[in-house]
Amino acid sequence: MKKSWFFLFVLVTAVAAGTVGVRLRKHEPVQKQTRFLMGALCTIRIPGGPEALPVIARALDRAEEIDRRFNPLNPGSPLYAFNQQGTPITQPDIVALVQTALDVSRKTDGAFDITVFPLIELWGFEGSSPRLPEQRQIDDCLKKVGWRKLVIEAGTLTKLEAGVKIDLGGIAKGYAVAEAVTVLTNANIRSALVDFGGDIYALGANRGKPWKIGIRKPVHDGGVLAGLDVSDMSLATSGDYERCFEKDGVRYHHILDPKTGYPARGIAGITVLTPDPTMGDAYSTALFVMGPERAMPHVAAIPSMEAVMITSKGTIDVSNGLKDRFAKP
C-alpha cells in the first residue's frame, strides 16, 4: 500500500511540473518540424513517410499566423491597435477567441481575465526585465482591469474604457494547437502529436496504440518519470517556474490574480486534460489563479476535464477520472 502511494506521488509531481516529453518507438519513420512561435518551441510529429511534411508546414503556418495577428506586442496586429488606439476588432477568428475567453471569465468568477495586460506590462512580464511594482502603481493599474469592460456586439469587439488592454497569452497557444490540429485533420491526418511549448494535443493513435506522454522531473535535464496514455486529448500546463524573477527571496511569476494584481499564490503547477486544447489552455491559467482550495472542486464539476495539481507546499491532488490512468514509462 505504501509503495503504490509513493509511485503515485512521483508520477503526479512530474505531471504537474509539466515538462512533457514524447516517446516514439525506434526504427519507425516519423516526420517532424519545429518552429519557434509564441515564445515557445512548437513541434508537430506525424508517424509515417515524408508525404506528411507539407501538411505539417501548413499547420505551422497557421500557428505562425496566430502568433502574428493575436499578439499585442506586434505593432501590425489588430490587438495592438485595439490596445493603443481603441480600434474595434472585427476579424472573426480573433473576436471568437475573445468571446471564448470571456465565457471562461464568467465561468471562473474572473480568475481568467484577458484584460490583465496593463498589469503584465507594469510587472514587465511581456518583456525581458520584469520588476516588482509599487503598491500605488498596482492599485492604479487594477482600475483598467476587468473582463466586463469588453463588449462584443454584432461581431465587433470594443472596450468601455480607454485604458483597457487585452492579452491572449493565456489562451492563444491552446487555440493555435486546436487550429493546427484542424489543418491536419482536414488533410486526412489521423495520427499526430502537436506540442507547442507544453500545450499538447495527441491526435488519434501512434501506430495502433495510445500516445504515451512522458512526464519529466521539474528540474533541468530531469529524466522521464512516468507516462500517460492519451488519444484525442489535450494537455495544458500552467506553472510558477515559467517566466519569473526573484526579489528578496520571493519568487514572482507571470500568472496574475486579476483581483489583487499580484502573482497568484498557492499552486506550483497544474496540468489540465480535456479534449479541447483552447479550453485546456484557458483553464490551466484560470485554475492556477483560483488556487489550491478552489481549483480541484471546479475541475470535478466539469465533465470531460481532468487535472493534476501540485501546491506550493508540495501537496498533490489528482482528479478522480485520472487516478487509475497513470502508467509506467
Sites of contact with Mg ion (CB under 5 A): 170, 281, 284-285
Asked if 180 and 59 count as a contact pair (C-beta separation under 8 A), the reply is yes
For residue 254, the partner it binds in Mg ion, ligand ADP, none, with Cβ less than 5 to 8 A by kind, is: ligand ADP
For residue 258, the partner it binds in ligand ADP, Mg ion, none, with Cβ less than 5 to 8 A by kind, is: ligand ADP
For residue 318, the partner it binds in Mg ion, ligand ADP, none, with Cβ less than 5 to 8 A by kind, is: none
Contact segment (CB under 6 A) with ligand ADP among 48-56, 82-90, 127-135, 251-259 equals 251-259
Task: Tell me how far, at minimum, the Cβ of 262 lies from ligand ADP, in Å.
Answer: 11
Which residue, 169 or 292, has its beta carbon nearer to Mg ion? 169
**Using CA atoms in the order 126, 132, 137, 138, what is the torsion angle rounded to 10 degrees?**
80
- 326-327: strand order across its sheet: 20-22, 211-216, 224-230, 326-327
Task: Tell me how far, at minimum, the Cβ of 234 lies from ligand ADP, in Å.
Answer: 12
**Does 108 interact with ligand ADP (rule: CB under 6 A)?**
no
For residue 167, the partner it binds in ligand ADP, Mg ion, none, with Cβ less than 5 to 8 A by kind, is: ligand ADP
- Residue 71: partners with Cβ closer than 8 Å, 6 or more residues away: 38, 77, 79, 80, 172
User: What one-character DSSP code corresponds to residue 206?
Assistant: B
Distance CA 63, CA 71 (A): 12
User: CA nearest 118: which of 163, 64, 70?
Assistant: 163
Binding ligand ADP (rule: CB under 6 A), the pick from 78, 146, 170, 269 is 170
Binding ligand ADP (rule: CB under 6 A), the pick from 289, 296, 307, 308 is 289
Applying the rule CB under 6 A, the residues between 189 and 248 that interact with ligand ADP are: 198, 238, 242
**Does 258 interact with ligand ADP (rule: CB under 6 A)?**
yes
Which residue, 227 or 258, has its beta carbon nearer to ligand ADP? 258
- Residue 187: partners with Cβ closer than 8 Å, 6 or more residues away: 55, 58
DSSP per residue, 93-150 = HHHHHHHHHHHHHHHTTTSS-GGGHHHHHHHTTTSS------HHHHHHHHTT--GGGE
Which residue, 46 or 289, has its beta carbon nearer to Mg ion? 289
**Does 309 interact with ligand ADP (rule: CB under 6 A)?**
no
Cα angle 151-155-158, degrees, rounded to a multiple of 5: 30
**Does 47 interact with ligand ADP (rule: CB under 6 A)?**
no
Q: Which residue has the cell 481568467?
A: 112
Asked if 67 and 176 count as a contact pair (C-beta separation under 8 A), the reply is yes
Binding ligand ADP (rule: CB under 6 A), the pick from 285, 287, 292, 309 is 285
Q: Which residues bind ligand ADP (CB under 6 A)?
A: 112-114, 116, 120, 125, 167, 169-170, 173, 198, 238, 242, 254-256, 258, 281, 284-285, 289
